[in-house]
Amino acid sequence: GTQLNAADPSAPMATLLRIDRLTILVDCGASPDFNTDVVDAVKPYAASIDAVLLSSSELRCCGSLPMVLDILRPDVVVCATIPTAKVGLLSTIAHMLDRHSTAEAEPTLPAAVTTVHAAFKRIREVQFEQTMKLTPLSGPVSGSAHTTVHVRALAAGRIAGAAAFMIAHQSDNVLLCHHAVPESVRCVSVRPFVPPKGAT
């Protein structure tokens, strides 16, 4: 994966994950001042992104969604658990309005409230343990049957609705714990367990 956010653990989250021909943006967070750092970091890759996964309702995981969707293709799939989608919407609006009401100067909102609602309405809400099938927006390559990536949302704890993602493609499985653990172990390869011969 390509980390698009600053190395600071409290910085807004944004990581590009490339699996075969599929490019996934995992999280598109915002800082409390709603600067454009994440949007600016995503821009060079916008045309190649096929899907967005949101791991948490925290501002640092989903706060830039409305601005990021403005630069992505209109058919990009956005997925999050039901609690992340619902709480993320309310959290993002609350942070935007709070910043607007407490600023000394008259700041402009990073997005209209209706734009924020529209962005979060685009989310494909999934339940925990539900598997999503993601494919590249450019369609399958002639002669290739392995373009589908299966993503399963797993309960991550720490924050209600937060998810880790089990990503399966061909014979590889990767567990992506984007928001809850140290950088060094956010993404690990998981091999299917094969019991020894003769075991029951």
Which residue ranges make up each domain of the chain? 2-190
Say if residues 169 and 61 touch (Cβ distance below 8 Å): no
* pLDDT mean over 115-124: 94
pLDDT for the residue 144: 54
* pLDDT mean over 72-88: 94
pLDDT for the residue 40: 92
Q: Whats the size of the chain, residue-wise?
A: 200
| Those residues with Cβ within 8 angstroms of residue 98's Cβ, 6 or more apart along the chain or in another chain | none
CATH architecture of 2-190: 4-Layer Sandwich (3.60)
pTM here is: 0.81
**Distance between CA atoms of 147 and 18, rounded to whole angstroms?**
12
pLDDT for the residue 21: 84
**Residue among 97, 94, 121 at smallest CA distance from 109:** 97
pLDDT for the residue 19: 85
